[in-house]
Amino acid sequence: MKDLSFLKDLGMTGTELPVSTGVQSFGNQAHKFSSFSPVDGKLIGTIGKANLSDYERMMTEALKAAEVWRKVPAPKRGEVVRQIGDELRRKKNSLGMLVSYEMGKSLQEGLGEVQEMIDICDFAVGLSRQLYGNTMHSERFEHRMYEQWHPVGVVGIISAFNFPVAVWAWNAMLAMVCGNATVWKPSEKTPLSAVATFHILKGVLLKNQVPEGVCSFIVGDALEIGEALIHDGRIPVVSATGSTRMGRRVGEVVGKRLGRTILELGGNNAIILTPFADLKLALPAIVFGAVGTCGQRCTTTRRLIVHSSLYDSLKEQLVKAYSSLRIGSPLDEHNHVGPLIDHDSKDLMQKAITQAKEQGGKLLYGGDVLTGPGYESGCYVRPAIIEARPDMEIVGEETFAPILYLLKYSGSLEDAIGIQNSVKQGLSSALFSRDLIEAERFLSAHGSDCGIANINIGTSGAEIGGAFGGEKETGGGRESGSDSWKAYMRRQTNTINYGVSVPLAQGIKFDI
């Protein structure tokens, strides 16, 4: 990667401070994280490693800001978010390139991630005038009941490396129009994308005199800063995206202090192809779902459940499609697949392939680590297809890498749904079928048990308009669209007596 002019456009200096309160940056510089690109293995820049003193300084500002920001009318808060969206539009190419270079996803996906940020800003602007509560008829004479929603205060956001900026925006923009301050702990694997995002925000916050601390981020060790955040009773809501293991820890700690969590965790997503599936329609969705972001999406297609009548034909077409994939720098738009995030991820993929073979799986294609010119980082792999059985232990696990397990079924649609639902995760699912009855059964209460269920599209690529998240070990949280804004607010039920007596509910008499 020779042209790094996008870094200059984003205001990156090469040595960044680990904390920002939106207006000013600070933090410990004695210890640093180094961000190396998985694209070419080169150092992008360094960033300080915040300590607990830095954390407390950030939280002090966030708490003060929350007191002021909640008093600003919601449409005025939405206007600030609108301007943030406009700044993101202006910096879309540069930020998209940094996301691609630091994380390893294709440039199209990097640009798409920034577009998600823009889209959620637009959604939040409209939402700022639609924070509705319900009205209810009271059983008492001359009484009125209604509910309203108030800010919770400070919302904590923990995001993962695979979507280094979009997931923050999903949470922060909604929390912001709802009247909250946010504190963000981005992944230590992709910290510079967070820094660049805040460089973009700063001008808007200053121009609008937004209180310092409404938007903050902090980069530090999970065992120090992450633990401080989830233990902090001053943060009533914590949104965490990442592994199921991480989510269990967040849920346990926050739940113990009776805080609330929004957990978006692992996925072991399946596509079912019935005898009525259109293979021409299904094949592109399968391949993108399985290899997009080099298999490092929570919505990545990891299991393909195919009826025996289609199995041999689909297997042949799938291997052929995989053999045509171009693997290389994600900044080259001609390539389909970029690198894994780091060597640990590469090693986990190799371990999973070995386990699959030991458990009776057959490697049909790929799985090897690529070397030579263009692959100097050591993080490039060939996406793998493995013939497997549903009862293989490894098939029930989520390996964050491009491994697709090919599973055959011969019975009814209910048998296929049973295979899909047999895993511990419940994020995304899809059915390919031209049969209306099959489609409706898949979407029914006795169909897919996932938070996302699609017909004739893949498991990946959710739009921001719908609530995003899943069930079981996926955590049960919902982010982004629909009414997920309610998770960032506290509900209050109000009763107003406009009469001259004080009757009690349920007909209770109490005379004094």
Of 16, 87, 212, 264, which one is the catalytic site residue?
A: 264
Q: How far apart are CA 412 and CA 30, in angstroms?
A: 62
Task: Tell me the C-alpha to C-alpha distance, in Å, between residue 230 and each of 27, 247, 467.
Answer: 20, 11, 24
What's the N-to-C CA distance of the chain in angstroms? Answer: 83
CB atoms within 10 A of CB 250: 25
Residue in 301, 175, 297, 182 with CA at minimum distance from that of residue 241: 297
Q: Encoding tokens for residue 421?
A: 């639902």
Task: Tell me the C-alpha to C-alpha distance, in Å, between residue 420 and each of 57, 63, 269, 392.
Answer: 47, 44, 8, 13
Examine the residue annotation and report whether 463 is marked as an active-site residue of this protein: no
- State residue 288 phi and psi, 5-degree precision: -65, -45
What is the DSSP secondary-structure string of 252-304? Answer: HHHHHTT-EEEEE----EEEEE-TT--HHHHHHHHHHHHHGGGG-STT-EEEE
User: Which secondary structure element, helix H or strand E, spans residue 315, and what is its range?
Assistant: helix 308-323
Instruction: Classify burial at 285, counting beta carbons within 10 Å of its beta carbon; exposed 0-12, middle 13-18, buried 19 or more.
Output: buried
| Structural contact between residues 334 and 326, judged by C-beta atoms closer than 8 angstroms | yes
**Residue appearing with tokens 């390893």:** 104
Q: How far apart are CA 399 and CA 394, in angstroms?
A: 9
**Residue appearing with tokens 């210890």:** 31
Task: Tell me the C-alpha to C-alpha distance, in Å, between residue 397 and each of 244, 289, 351, 390, 394.
Answer: 11, 17, 12, 11, 5
Q: Encoding tokens for residue 33?
A: 């994280």
Q: How far apart are CA 121 and CA 169, in angstroms?
A: 8
Q: How far apart are CA 41 and CA 371, in angstroms?
A: 13
165: left (phi over 0), alpha (psi -120 to 50) or beta: alpha
Q: How far apart are CA 44 and CA 502, in angstroms?
A: 69
Buried/exposed code over 467-485 (b: 16+ C-beta within 10 A; e: otherwise) = bbbbebbbbbbbbbbeebb
Examine the residue annotation and report whether 298 is marked as an active-site residue of this protein: yes
Q: For residue 297, give the amino acid letter.
A: R
Of 215, 298, 379, 450, which one is the catalytic site residue?
A: 298
**For residue 230, how many C-alpha atoms fall within 13 Å in the half-sphere facing its CB?**
22
Task: Tell me the C-alpha to C-alpha distance, in Å, between residue 201 and each of 59, 208, 305, 346, 350.
Answer: 19, 11, 44, 34, 40
Query: What positions carry a catalytic annotation?
Result: 264, 298
